[in-house]
């Protein structure tokens, strides 16, 4: 089982069968947000780093070994053969790769994982691992993903989204007290804001759209129809392309301020931005424009970001999504 980017034979490997279809197993492995927030790997914590100039998104990997913290930077890529590739790019294990390939077996999936050690070896705080130790590390990763697969639903927003929305419940009574016409204006502005933030960096992904669905269900008790949802996403994407994300969000912030709901708009926008891959610089600029136009101060915005990140991570401040706010 060779690395797709090298002819060198693997230094260790293992295979495990998962009782789910191949599409769902692949989705789990590539769902990095799940690894950041749900922490499926024992003793390991991950956090997103700012996007590199070439667009690469790295993660900082903290591994606790007894009383020591082992820190490295990694990238998770999709290989040319649709394999899952974990690359160590900074730290003692730089140059090491773990590669997983997926083979469908009816309603099951066989996952073959190989380890390709870099020039400095694969160190985990106590020195380089032996071949047996490396094989055990591969088996442990496979087993941890099998546990994480239990109850997993691809495309769903990651983290404690429902819990993060509890803080916004204080707005429900105020919304319900509005006249019907005014309430429709507020709801429309809030939905435009949520979808505009989702479109700030690129087309919204499934987790971001799923977060908006959770917002709608929480506040209005009924889901958007698929056709309406598609129209709202398309309209938001077009507005962001034509006006720019920051300019569009500034206009929405001013509208929400006039309606008396700017603070709620900021809270919901932060949730949508944080729920997938953490904050990109484009999303952060858009959030700051939204908050400034809405009369929400920068310190208050940072507080909302901190609370949302910690809540999504299950109350663990170490598992924060963003490190450059």
The residue-averaged pLDDT of 157-186 equals 81
Q: In whole numbers, what is the pLDDT of the chain averaged over residues?
A: 83
H/E run at residue 160: none
Poorest-pLDDT segment among 50-59, 82-91, 155-164, 183-192: 155-164
The residue-averaged pLDDT of 180-191 equals 92
Q: What angle do CA 276, 281, 287 make, to 5 degrees?
A: 80
For residue range 301-320, list pLDDT tens digits in order.
Answer: 989 988 887 777 654 443 33
Q: What angle do CA 309, 315, 320 make, to 5 degrees?
A: 35
Query: Model pTM?
Result: 0.61
Poorest-pLDDT segment among 19-28, 146-155, 169-178: 146-155
How distant is the alpha carbon of residue 316 from its chain centre? 15
Q: Tokens standing for 20?
A: 């789910």
pLDDT higher than 60, residue 55: yes
Could you tell me what percent of the chain has a pLDDT over 90? 39
Closest CA to 22 of 134, 101, 97, 133: 101
Poorest-pLDDT segment among 88-97, 199-208, 288-297: 199-208
Closest CA to 282 of 191, 208, 202: 202
Whole-angstrom distance between the N-terminal and C-terminal Cα of the chain?
42
CA distance 38 to 63: 15
- The pLDDT of residue 312: 75
In sequence order, what are the residues at sequence separation of 6 or more whose Cβ sits closer than 8 angstroms to the Cβ of residue 247? 289
Q: Residue 22 phi/psi, 5° resolution?
A: -60, -35
pLDDT higher than 60, residue 244: yes
Quick check: 112 and 4 in contact, CB under 8 A? no
The residue-averaged pLDDT of 249-277 equals 91
CATH of 12-148, one of 3.40.470.10, 3.10.20.30, 3.30.530.20, 3.40.309.10: 3.30.530.20
At 35, is the pLDDT very low, low, confident or very high (cuts 50, 70, 90)? Answer: confident
Which range of 24-38, 86-100, 122-136 scores highest in mean pLDDT? It is 86-100
pLDDT higher than 70, residue 321: no
Poorest-pLDDT segment among 2-11, 12-21, 104-113: 2-11
- The pLDDT of residue 133: 75
Fold of the 161-319 domain: TerB-like (1.10.3680)
Q: Tokens standing for 166?
A: 């509890």
Q: Residue 307 phi/psi, 5° resolution?
A: -65, -45
H/E run at residue 128: none
Of residues 224 and 68, more confidently modeled: 224
CA distance 281 to 272: 14
- The pLDDT of residue 121: 76
Domain boundaries, the chain: 12-148, 161-319
Beta bridge partners of 68: 65
Q: Residue 212 phi/psi, 5° resolution?
A: -65, -40
Helix axes 180-198, 281-294, angle to 10 degrees: 150
At 322, is the pLDDT very low, low, confident or very high (cuts 50, 70, 90)? Answer: very low
- The pLDDT of residue 173: 84
Closest CA to 253 of 276, 222, 285: 285
- The pLDDT of residue 135: 86
pLDDT higher than 90, residue 17: yes
The residue-averaged pLDDT of 212-217 equals 85
């Amino acid at each position: 089982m060779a690395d797709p980017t090298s002819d060198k034979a693997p230094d260790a490997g293992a295979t495990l069968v998962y009782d789910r279809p191949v599409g769902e197993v692949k989705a789990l492995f590539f769902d990095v947000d799940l690894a950041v927030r749900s922490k499926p790997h024992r003793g390991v914590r991950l956090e997103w780093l700012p996007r590199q100039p070439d667009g690469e998104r790295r993660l900082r990997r903290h591994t606790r070994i007894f009383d020591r913290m082992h820190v490295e930077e990694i990238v998770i890529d999709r290989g040319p053969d649709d394999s899952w590739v974990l690359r160590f790019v900074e730290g003692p294990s730089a140059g090491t790769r773990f590669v997983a390939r997926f083979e469908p077996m009816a309603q099951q999936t066989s996952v073959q994982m190989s380890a390709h050690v870099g020039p400095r070896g694969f160190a985990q705080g106590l020195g380089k691992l032996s071949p047996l130790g490396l094989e055990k590390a591969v088996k442990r990763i496979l087993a941890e993903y099998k546990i994480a697969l239990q109850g997993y639903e691809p495309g769903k927003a990651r983290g404690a989204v429902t819990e993060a929305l509890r803080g916004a419940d204080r707005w429900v009574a105020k919304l319900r007290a509005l006249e019907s016409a005014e309430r429709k204006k507020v709801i429309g502005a809030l939905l435009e804001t949520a979808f505009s933030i989702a479109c700030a960096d690129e087309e919204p992904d499934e987790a971001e759209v799923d977060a908006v669905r959770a917002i709608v269900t929480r506040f209005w008790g009924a889901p958007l129809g698929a056709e309406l949802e598609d129209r709202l996403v398309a309209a938001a994407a077009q507005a962001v392309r034509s006006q720019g994300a920051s300019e569009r969000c500034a206009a929405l912030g001013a509208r929400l301020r006039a309606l008396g709901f700017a603070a709620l708009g900021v809270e919901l926008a932060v949730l949508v931005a944080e729920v997938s891959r953490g904050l990109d610089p484009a999303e952060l600029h858009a959030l700051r424009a939204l908050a400034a136009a809405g009369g929400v101060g920068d310190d208050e915005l940072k507080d909302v970001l901190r609370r949302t990140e910690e809540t999504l991570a299950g109350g663990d401040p170490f598992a924060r999504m963003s490190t450059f706010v």
